[in-house]
Amino acid sequence: MNSISIIYTGGESYYLELGKDDYYTAQPEPEGIFLGEGAKTLKIAGQQIKENDPVLKNLFEGKSPDGSTSLRQGMNRIREYNLLVNPETKEPVRRADNNRPIYLNRFEANQIKNGNPDHYSKRLTKLLKEYQIDDPEKWLTTEKHRSVIGFDNVFSAPKDVSILWALAPTQRDRDKIMGLHERAVRSALGYLEEHTTIRSGKQGVKTEKAKAVFATFTHTTSRDLDPQLHTHGLMLNLGIGKEKTGTLTNGTVLQARYASGMVYQNELRRGIEQVYGVKTYDQPFQKGKGVSFGIVGISQETKDSFSNRHRNIQQRIDPGMTAKQKRAEVLKTRKPKDKSVDSKALLKQWQARGREQGFRWDKVIGQQHSQDIKSKTDYRLFYREVAYRISEQEKRGVAVRDHHVATAVHTASRGKFGASEARNLVAGFKKQLLKAHPQKNGKKAYTLNDLGKKALNYRTIYEKAAHILKELGKAQYKNRMLFLYATGKISGRDYKRYTEGKGLPTSTIGIRVYEALGFVSKKQANYLISRQQQLKLQDTQKQQQGSRKPQKAFRHVPITKMTNFEQRGRSSSSREQER
């Protein structure tokens, strides 16, 4: 994944110290390195970064690597802004037309501090009268805005990959896995650079493509001494255009973080599968932000034994906490870096811990061959998933941008395509299955075109057959219920209960009682409980949106028992798939 932090003026000292030797593996060489097309232009690409590196320090200050030329203005500037803030609500006074805070100039702030209303400017007098502010000195607030000097993109390998690296039997295997991680990081940085822009034109309204400068630092261990492969991809807030240099377009950098994270995940997954033949499975991120992966053969007990930091965080986090409170608790769990650790002894501890948990290298690697997408059906299923993810964005009312399309394609890839192939698929998908809508700011929003909607509705022959069998089974079941009702074998109440879902219990315990009495099957009971939870969630969401009429539970929710016809159809379909 890619977690990103904005680096402000004053925060560069932490990154200047990252040029030290890896404080856990005790590598003799400096671990930092400059990357990116911008670094090539500045002739520092591949150059190693030492502690308090003068080149990195100059770049932080907006200067050329040797410090002789200024590449951008205001890198280390701290600006002060004066505004009026309600002392009770802590809300600033805002303009009525655009809801933006109203800022006072330095002279107006000094006039308030002097406390003589007779010396107030006309604008200040009008402002205080309009917002009925009697004691402006209590409202006067000064905020400091620090310049953004960079963006820290942290690419962290999935826990299973870090464990595989730590428990590898030889140094050669650890070097291979590290190489796969670094290759994936470079692919992700390449994606970020493809979408790097700087502002141009009058008042910086337009943007132009630019080259980026990265300072990368790779670490292998967490502060809690667990294996954790991760690389800091520090993106300097400096873009090199065709004719000028300038600050990056911050919004574009932040928007690209999920897509770049998926480029990293996809490339790493593909590399691990191809080199070691491991079998992987999906581990989705929250809120549709992509998919990570796990490795079959690494048990949950093994993962838990190498997750000290996660365990410490979970002990401090309460479900009722706000995001800010959770962040504060997470920071409290951060231990100081222990630079006295013997790397060889630590590696032996990891290996012993892995053996205690039953980890076996030969049971993890060589489990399958690389699963490339080759057939037309596989490609159609791939396009269907991408189209589905795009349609979900549209349903949420989110304008689909380039980074959304890239995230969807790399998520659906699951390591089946390399970085260049995935890049071509993104371009092809936008050209063939999406309709572009130019925006005023020069960007584009996308919606599915007719071909994209067709891809969304694609079904394989097995899915079509299963659907037909399911519908036939439902029809047969309803006909059987109708016959039993017509011949007096069941009551009208039972008929509605088993065809329309009316009269069924809505509580979990009630449903389980019906299951115990044989009124419904286990499959039906599980379905009813799942459906009940979905409806409750929908009711909660509607109530939060101000809905006055919540949906009734299980209204017109038919359930059917599995008929012999369906069972035969399902078994025959399974046999066809096995063939």
Domain borders along the chain are 2-72+148-255+295-363, 83-146, 376-456, 461-578
Quick check: 180 pLDDT over 90? yes
- pLDDT tens readout for residues 236-274: 999 999 888 888 888 888 888 889 999 999 999 999 999
Mean pLDDT of 362-367: 88
C-alpha 568/C-alpha 396 separation (Å) is 40
C-alpha 576/C-alpha 232 separation (Å) is 49
Work out whether the CA dihedral 438, 439, 442, 443 comes out positive or negative: negative
- The four Cα atoms 426, 431, 432, 438 give a dihedral, to 10 degrees, of 110
Helix 323-332 crosses helix 308-316 at what angle (to 10 degrees)?
130
Quick check: 539 pLDDT over 90? no
User: Which residue intervals of 334-417 are DSSP H helices?
Assistant: 343-356, 376-395, 402-413
Quick check: 332 pLDDT over 90? no
pLDDT at 75: 66
pLDDT at 163: 94
Half-sphere exposure of 178 (CA within 13 A, CB side): 17
C-alpha 409/C-alpha 386 separation (Å) is 6
In this structure, the strands spanning 32-35 and 48-49 are antiparallel
- pLDDT tens readout for residues 86-108: 888 888 888 877 788 888 888 88
pTM exceeds 0.75, yes or no:
no
Mean pLDDT of 20-32: 51
Per-residue pLDDT band at 19 (split at 50, 70, 90)? low
- Determine which helix (DSSP H) or strand (DSSP E) holds 419, and give its type and residue range: helix 419-432
pLDDT at 330: 62
Quick check: 567 pLDDT over 60? no
Phi-psi region of 361 (alpha: psi -120 to 50; beta: other; left: phi over 0): alpha
Rounded to 5°, angle at Cα 289 from 286 and 294: 70
pLDDT at 246: 86
554 three-state secondary structure: coil
Lowest mean pLDDT among 42-46, 224-228, 313-317: 313-317
- pLDDT tens readout for residues 514-526: 777 666 678 777 8
The pLDDT mean for the chain works out to 81
Mean pLDDT of 395-418: 88
Per-residue pLDDT band at 571 (split at 50, 70, 90)? very low
CB 445 within 8 A of CB 437: yes
pLDDT at 566: 40
Mention the CATH class of domain 376-456. Answer: mainly alpha
pLDDT at 286: 64
- Of all residues in the chain, what percent carry a pLDDT higher than 70? 80
Lowest mean pLDDT among 15-19, 362-366, 379-383, 561-565: 561-565
Mean pLDDT of 416-426: 88
Per-residue pLDDT band at 501 (split at 50, 70, 90)? low
C-alpha 551/C-alpha 528 separation (Å) is 15
- The four Cα atoms 279, 281, 285, 291 give a dihedral, to 10 degrees, of 70
- Of all residues in the chain, what percent carry a pLDDT higher than 90? 30
C-alpha 21/C-alpha 217 separation (Å) is 10
Quick check: 555 pLDDT over 60? no
List all residues 6 or more positions away from 33 whose beta carbon is below 8 Å from its beta carbon: 46, 47, 48, 49, 215, 216
List all residues 6 or more positions away from 114 whose beta carbon is below 8 Å from its beta carbon: none
Q: CA–CA distance from 337 to each of 10, 16, 215, 221 (Å)?
A: 21, 15, 21, 10
